[in-house]
Structure 1
């Protein structure tokens, strides 16, 4: 394949920016050609990532234990990896999750862990399983796991064409190095004989088939450099240079995120695991940026009080590690009735438990299909906690003030739900084709 190109040039264009834009297109394209082009563009001939560990057993049992090995910003917020690949997987015809395939999956995953450091500079990843995967067994999923079949029948989905994930699994790969993500994907599926000097003994290729591949990125400056020519964004290219997300503001504040402990399953054979929700949203940024000014956008994303106090700044730089939305919860109905607007974060904060967040979000931007979008990724102990937060976000109780989903009810009118899935992310010790009742 030909190396991905980026023909967008302006006053911001530098060698570094061009390489970053090139890297994101390479990750989106995938394949050996994209990896070779990515390495060439970075003046490298091999992946050359930090080496992993000789014994994967030394890694935490929680697959979702990422925060301690990721960087933090000056305010103490966790900085997510820049490059992400999400692979929807189905068991290959004839694969038996109870037979030898389990050992193959275990060996393939451990080979990558031996080759690459568990970090943002190396690789972090999770493998989660859908309700459809567990439905193939006669036994019921252990009662300690809350993983209902997904139901995207919400106001958010009313005007959307939603595809529910009925494949078997979702593999999420993430790294600050685009070459690492590409090389890890190839290695896991038997398309690469060596990874960082290590030779894997097994691959997922004979067990799983890739049914879908989605990609994402996150970080200051990245959305701004990728906004050119996308569907759903104005020609004026309004995303601020320092914004890590397409809507123009920061997210992932430490005080608005659940801890990894809080989202971890406590009991049963899957203790140490978590549940994951993953959905893809298209963003209507043309309306977001052109039909509202900065103050109105702040009011709809955070709260009217944030806008009135100018508490956010251009892209959220004034908020530090705490966006301060908890203090606005009690004013939500007054804001809706008297000001005609209620904030997205203000609504969602109503789903906290004793003031503490229950969701750990790991969202990323996406330009899959040349459309401006968001892969919404969140972890929670029970899926019922996600449902509660989603109901708070939809905000049906604000309809009495004339704030339906197409009004100033947070950011609902700028979102189109396209894909939706729920997953059990088992502890590392049970991530290889788990039975629903592994203790039986």
Structure 2
């Protein structure tokens, strides 16, 4: 971990670094800093939702009713270790391992802390090993470039496990328990592991099979000593994300119900998209004015009328850009159009079609973002991304393909992947037609 320029290593910096490094030594060091005293999970798992993505009931909410995400995140990219189609014995082993984690850690505690939440998703490449195709109720295309100015590498492992907790040590222990590197987690024996069933994925072009990150007040500021952020350490101390503003307003998120697949053998599941991005924030903080950042992130009207205070916590449970969606082309002619302003045009019945669970990252010692979104179909993500591209705005003159076009010039999409998150009963090595 790079040394901090101006201060000693805080607990939050240390935990972030330990999660990024991984392994038993990092876990031991992390436990020494965190010392979580978590109860074990339930013996009876029948009360858990069949929706893997049903996290909101476990999350605390802030004073405005916005769900507060877990602080620490880990993405494990995995390949099936066997040949051909998975055997039933492997399914049973994988499911037993997942249930062991659920019995080891509670989703949350009486104090509202997140113990462990996780999902397991499968890429289109996984389902290609079967003769039958996915049902029409599942929209899961291979990942591709979605703008003329991007060229992401497609992530096509068999599976990805998303682990989330308020404690970095929990993520490290859960990772080692799943992969067969620990016999017990949180004082509870692992009844089975992924050893011999899954292995870390071999991703194209040196892709990381293990990706980490964080979100929450103070964490980006504590971890800004990386490439992509100016030496002046400009990230506000109370910002939950590197770009300095609140995100995840309740009214600018899809509901868990609306992103759930409604019919077919995977009813109760959802589609997940993950884009891994580099952030380039030197101009954002050192050349762009505060007014320009507000206009670029939200909309010019917010900047002109001093709507945003600090990181935007005063906005409550909505970014308030609904009316700005009608002035995109006009604002583009005037010189800048906002990120949230463009995305508001992709709403249905006044609500977004995606539920975002993204988080910042220092993977590779540079500022990044793992943009993780849930939606009923990948086409919903594509529609939102097309709105974000602002092609119509760029055609208006003053706004370019990326320049002054929301936040496009500050992000670079390196990798992209699409995944199906089955309902809990078929999350372990599913066939394209569970139950058939």
**TM-score, L = length of structure 1:** 0.94
Q: Which range is displaced more, 399-408 or 185-194?
A: 399-408
Residue 290 (structure 1) aligns with: 286
For the aligned residues, what is the CA RMSD?
1.4
Match of residue 354, structure 1, among 346, 349, 363: 349
- In 1, the alpha carbon distance for the partners of 2:196 and 2:39 equals 28
- Once the two structures are superposed, the pairs formed by residues 59-98 of structure 1 within 5 Å of their partners are 59-94=48-83, 96-98=85-87
1:129-148 aligned at under 5 Å gives the runs: 129-148=122-141
Aligned to 1:390: 385
Whether contact under 8 Å (2:146, 2:385) holds in the other structure is no
Contact 1:95 1:101 in 2 (8 A): no
Q: Residue 104 of structure 1: which of 89, 93, 97 is its match?
A: 93
For structure 1, list consecutive stretches of 5 or more residues without a partner in the other structure. Answer: none
Shift of 1:9: 5.6
Matched, 1:222 2:214: no
- Tell me the residue number matched to 2:188: 198
Dislocated runs of 4+, deviation >4 Å = none
Instruction: Give the Cα–Cα distance (whole angstroms) in 1 for the partners of residues 187 and 424 of structure 2.
Output: 24
Q: Work out whether 1:18 is the aligned partner of 2:18.
A: no
* Aligned residue in 2 for 1:34: 26
Q: Distance in 2 between matches of 1:95 and 1:104?
A: 17
Match of 1:116 in 2: 105
SS at 2:381 equivalent? helix
Q: Is the 8 A contact 2:177 2:183 kept in 1?
A: yes
Task: Report how many aligned residue pairs link the two structures.
Answer: 424
The superposition leaves residues 325-350 of structure 1 with CA deviations (integer Å, 9 ceiling, x where unpaired) of: 1121111111112x211100000110
Q: State the Cα deviation string for residues 13-46 of structure 1 (Å, max 9, x = none).
A: 6xxx71111000000000111000111223x4xx
Secondary structure of the equivalent of 1:345?
A: helix
Q: Which residue in 2 is equivalent to 1:262?
A: 258
* CA–CA separation in structure 1 for the residues paired with 2:27 and 2:281: 31
Deviations 1:26-80 (A, max 9, x none): 00000111000111223x4xx6423211122220000000011011111111000
Q: Which runs of 5+ in 2 are unaligned?
A: 202-208
Equivalent residue, structure 1, for 2:205: none
Residue 288 of structure 1 deviates from its aligned partner by: 1.2
Contact 2:245 2:311 in 1 (8 A): yes
Query: What is the distance in 2 between the residues matched to 1:259 and 1:345?
Result: 18
Normalising by structure 2, what TM-score?
0.95
1:40 aligned counterpart, secondary structure: helix
Please give the alpha-carbon distance, in whole angstroms, between the structure 2 residues aligned to 1:195 and 1:135. Answer: 34
What is the distance in 1 between the residues matched to 2:19 and 2:394?
42
Q: 2:405 aligns with which of 400, 405, 409?
A: 409
Per-residue deviation, 1:202: 0.7
Report the 3-state secondary structure (helix = DSSP H, G, I; strand = E; otherwise coil) of the residue aligned with 2:119: strand
Q: 362-371 or 67-76, which moves further after superposition?
A: 67-76
CA deviation map 1:249-295 (0-9, x unaligned): 11000000000001000001111000000011101101211221111
The 1:169/1:412 distance shift into structure 2, 3 A limit, reads same
Structure 1: how far apart are the matches of 2:83 and 2:381? 35
1:124 is displaced (CA, Å) by: 0.2
User: How far is 1:95 from its partner?
Assistant: 6.8
SS of structure 2 residue aligned to 1:89: strand
**1:219-275 CA distance string (max 9 Å, x none):** 0111111112x1111111111010010011110000000000010000011110000
1:395: how far off? 0.9
Q: Is the 8 A contact 1:6 1:21 kept in 2?
A: no
Provide the rounded CA distance (Å) in 2 between the counterparts of 1:89 and 1:194: 21
